[in-house]
Amino acid sequence: MDFEEVSVSQFTRLLHPYPTFLVSSVGRDGRANLITIAWLIPVSVRPPLLAMAVRRERYSYGLIVESGEFVVHAVPFDRAREALFCGRRSGRDVDKIATLGLESVPGRVVKAPVVPEVGVAFLECRLQQEVEAGDHVLFIAEVVAAYTRPGFLEDGVRDLAAAPPLLHVGGPRFATTALEIVEPEV
């Protein structure tokens, strides 16, 4: 097999596509923000923990450290525009929620708001730990509430047809999954 060499500085490109999330947080002044995040994974079931890599330069970094809370929104495919906008603009310069004309409602448990239109599944989180990780900080957070739009899960498994996921392919490109499902026998 002939391999194609890739610079290790480009290694993240080899891991795409990533599911795309919008993460809300709120500052002491009560102004809420949304950041687009692709580097987010579950890391524990009991207790329920997830990890998310955020650059310290992001406006959201300060809001999350200050409030200790955030809400993860799993973004549907039809919200690619909002995801790119929130991933290209900073809350330092623009009120992204207002500019996009989005409504937000209070979180059930946390102070950060929920923006129903840009999410199909919602995870309210409380920051537990901050781990230095090169040019990003890894936030480890406990999921303190989780809920979905009706029909998101079918028999406990995601119904892709009900809510096609937004996958980040790279740069400004997004995709979604094919609806073909396999269930291999092993």
* Cβ proximity to ligand FMN, 37 vs 121, nearer residue: 37
Distance from the first to the final alpha carbon of the chain: 28
Q: Does 73 bind ligand FMN (CB under 6 A)?
A: no
Q: Which of 86-94, 99-107, 119-127, 147-155 is the region at the interface with ligand FMN (rule: CB under 6 A)?
A: 86-94
* Cβ proximity to ligand FMN, 98 vs 161, nearer residue: 98
Angstrom distance (rounded) from CA 93 to CA 116: 23
Q: Does 104 bind ligand FMN (CB under 6 A)?
A: no
Q: Does 20 bind ligand FMN (CB under 6 A)?
A: yes
Q: Does 54 bind ligand FMN (CB under 6 A)?
A: yes
17, 86, 105, 113 from 14: Cα distances, Å = 9, 23, 37, 33
Q: Does 32 bind ligand FMN (CB under 6 A)?
A: no
For residue 58, give every residue at least 6 positions away whose Cβ sits within 8 Å of its Cβ, in sequence order, or none.
35, 90
Residue 14's identity, in one-letter code, is L
For residue 114, which phi and psi values (nearest 5 degrees)?
Answer: -110, 135
Residue 68's H or E segment, with its range, is none
Q: Which of 28-36, 72-80, 103-111, 151-159 is the region at the interface with ligand FMN (rule: CB under 6 A)?
A: 28-36
Query: Residues interacting with ligand FMN, by CB under 6 A?
Result: 20, 33, 35-39, 53-55, 58-60, 83-84, 87-92, 136, 168
